[in-house]
Amino acid sequence: MPPFTKSDLIWFNGELTRWDDARVHVSAHALQYGTGVFEGMRSYDTADGPAIFRLDAHMRRFAASASYYEIEWPYSFEQLCAASLDVIRANSLDNAYLRPLAFFDSYSFNVWPKGCPVSVAIIAVPGRPYIQGGPERGVRVTVSSVRRIDAASLPPFVKACGHYTNSVRAVQEANRRGFDDALLLNYKGEVAEGSGANLFLVKDGRVITNDADASIVLGITRDSVLQIASDLGVPVDVRSLTLDDIAGADEAFFTGTAIEVTPITEVDGRPVGAGKPGPITLRIQQSYFGAVHGRLPQYHTWLAYTRQMQTV
């Protein structure tokens, strides 16, 4: 993702705070040990004003991640949903990327974070493509030498700050080698996901993706695409994925809040299918963007509007 553009205000510990005043001490437990959890959300412009895509689902996952690491929010679920909408309004944003974050703050260098206060922030910045031009032209990826974290050591389904050093290593390697992103294998040698996105393949008119047992994050965009594909009448298979599956795929694409629906056109120098965004990928992508921008009535329940929707 290109460098973000600062917004004016961040929701920080219950208040809208000027960007430069939202500070954390260097002794914060989360900075020392990675003990924080986060979400990624987007808002989009619609005919009824800005709306956050699947706010409730993202906040439920945020709560589940926090619970796993015993991070007790000092705010209610409803307060954080309202704060997410507030920070969009306060910064006069429409298409935006939001980053809710909860973490153990400064108190002790003990690995056990007992006694550390919990800080919560919701950051919103103008939204940009994760990989410039990716949704239109597709991206080139490489299979990483870095393996995806395994449930025997860390829960892959939790969006914890410290977990993402795994992804950092993979994408550093991929970028150094001239690729846009990485594909990570799990401990079984199966394909898991990208550095920050779920993977879908298309073969013989069927959409294929993997599940939690592949050491993936269960993406909100992934879930949305599964529903969209079903609504479009595209058959869906959920099963493990191998490198042979990728080699034989007609199409491939990433899904995620940041990357949205982005075609994969090449893996380690070999084209996927025709080496360009495929027809099923483009159909799903078109419906996805129709949904997030409020153009498809059947998906209006996925949108949380910053102002009350107009009624006829």
CA atoms within 13 A on the CB side of 226: 15
The 3-state DSSP composition of the chain as helix, strand, coil percent (nearest 5) reads 30, 30, 40
pTM passes above 0.85: yes
**Would you call 159 a catalytic residue per the annotation?**
yes
Q: How far apart are CA 102 and CA 73, in angstroms?
A: 7
Instruction: Say whether 168 sits in a helix, a strand or coil.
Output: helix
Each of the 312 residues of the chain gets a pLDDT tens digit; together they read 678 999 999 999 999 999 999 999 999 999 999 999 999 999 999 999 999 999 999 999 999 999 999 999 999 999 999 999 999 999 999 999 999 999 999 999 999 999 999 999 999 999 999 999 999 999 999 999 999 999 999 999 999 999 999 999 999 999 999 999 999 999 999 999 999 999 999 999 999 999 999 999 999 999 999 999 999 999 999 999 999 999 999 999 999 999 999 999 999 999 999 999 999 999 999 999 999 999 999 999 999 999 864 332
Among 159, 188, 203, 276, the one annotated catalytic: 159
- Closest by CA position to 191, among listed 276, 234, 252, 236: 252
Q: Could you give the domains of the chain?
A: 9-126 (3.30.470.10), 134-292 (3.20.10.10)
